[in-house]
Amino acid sequence: MITLDSKRLTVLKQEVFEANLALPKAGLVKLTWGNVSVIDRELGVIVIKPSGVAYDVMRAEDMVVTDLDGKTLMEDTLAPSSDLATHVILYREFPEIGAVVHTHSKWAVAWAQAKRDIPAYGTTHADAFYGQVPCTRELTATEITQDYEVETGNVIVETFKNRGLDPNAVPGVIVSSHGPFTWGKTAAKAVEHSLILDEVADMAFQSEQLEHDLTAIPGYLLDKHYYRKHGADAYYGQK
């Protein structure tokens, strides 16, 4: 049993708390429409926002601790986010990620409701996502009825496997008719990806209003912008 006075656990809960507060601050969340989790594979825990708790009353100690299967580990704990099972699937299937974010941010949801991938039209997109951000297929009535949150995770994984996508190079997805999930090595990076995703969703929409016959960013320019920030030969920023 993990105890609340564990120093390592306290640090994780503070990280998750601050990352969750960053969502409404960045305009990505209204009401309680979002959650962030972090996984510590060595400790064997996931820490996630409690379900339905308003951001202005939430405390670091309210963050919920579960095992890697999503079973709560503390007595008298708040109920975890209802999206926990989706996070568990993503951690299990994408073993290099360290944090997951889910929001209902306006522009990403618009593309999800249109059931369209977010095209890679320019370099702002290419800096963070190596190609279009995929939209999953619709969940079936059976999938929704039998285990909605698990199947949401499954359809994300299915989308990446079927399309041969690397979740490290495309750190986000939009679930059809639902909204975005993003991830990263840390909670801060996963939140950053969520912010970038919504911005490029907005930019793509505006671009299509100006030019109806848009084409994707050229591959050589996509490569240049993505790999100057990522990989062994990256040179953007300070060393």
Q: Which of 67, 127, 202, 227 is catalytic?
A: 127
Q: Which of 147, 166, 223, 236 is catalytic?
A: 236
The whole-angstrom separation of Cα 121 and Cα 209 is 13
The whole-angstrom separation of Cα 86 and Cα 94 is 12
Q: Which residue has the tokens 């912010």?
A: 195
Nearest to 111, CA basis, from 129, 87, 91: 129
Give the side-chain half-sphere CA count within 13 A for 7.
0
CB-count exposure of residue 126 (10 Å: 0-12, 13-18, 19+): buried
Say if strands 45-48 and 64-66 run parallel, antiparallel, or are unpaired: antiparallel
Residue 191 backbone dihedrals phi, psi, to 5 degrees: -65, -40
Q: Which two structure tokens, joined as six digits, stand for 226?
A: 């993505």
**Has 236 been annotated as catalytic?**
yes
Q: Positive or negative, the Cα torsion across 112, 159, 95, 221? A: negative
85, 18 contact by CB (below 8 A): no
Q: How many CB atoms lie within 10 A of CB 88?
A: 24
Which residue numbers are catalytic? Answer: 127, 236
